[in-house]
Amino acid sequence: MDKEFVITEDGSHTIYLPEMDEHYHSTHGAVQESLHVYINQGLLQFPGKEISILEIGFGTGLNAFLTYVFAVKNNLKVTYTSIEKFPLTEAEYSVLNYSETIFTEHANVLKKLHQCEWNSWVSISPEFSIRKIHADLLTMEFGSTGQFDLLYYDAFAPTKQPEMWTEELINKVSESVRKDGILVTYCAKGTVRRAFSAAGFQMERVPGPIGKKEILRGKKTI
């Protein structure tokens, strides 16, 4: 697909896909959205010093980058698994300005996250290891991915990519989340909330980032 790079309201990049009429992040601010949804409402909910994270949709690498920064600053040991079917090319991810606009002391990390080998564990720092899985979520098996404490569900919107939000797929992904694990997603649709509820999460609506009233968070109860 053709991609257009857009500066959002907080000065950070997102990518626009004209064919889908869809952005990777909120145009109100890519960084502020990811910080609010995945770091503040997800990662900050854990008091421990070790955490295993599963991300659906590596995309621009922004969620992984922000998680890395949080881990380093807070001496948190993170093992991070991300599943992506359509990785960005070097020409594409090299345009992204996250390392230039935020946390400039980690300016080389975003490129490292994109360049590290697929389907293998790579240590980025003593606090952060990542495994990017190049696969189609719809057909991959979860048996060997392990169990996770936190799920970042960051697929494109249900109106643009409905196959990523079916009850069947959500149930498959949810089986990899440990009891008492946490789910966070920017999507607040009732059908999505009910699908995660059916998959064993106690769901709640929490305040959203700038430009969005609510998002969803859930705790695995089974």
Q: H-helix or E-strand containing 184?
A: strand 177-185
**CA 97, 102, 104, 107 torsion-angle sign:** negative
Quickly name the fold that domain 29-220 has.
Answer: Rossmann fold (3.40.50)
* pLDDT score, position 199: 98
* pLDDT score, position 144: 76
pLDDT in tens, the chain (222 residues): 899 999 999 999 999 999 999 999 999 999 999 999 999 999 999 988 999 999 999 999 999 999 999 999 999 999 999 999 999 999 999 999 998 888 899 989 999 999 999 999 999 999 999 999 999 999 998 877 899 999 999 999 999 999 999 999 999 999 999 999 999 999 999 999 999 999 999 999 999 999 999 999 999 999
H-state helical runs in the chain: 30-34, 62-74, 90-93, 98-101, 109-115, 167-174, 190-198
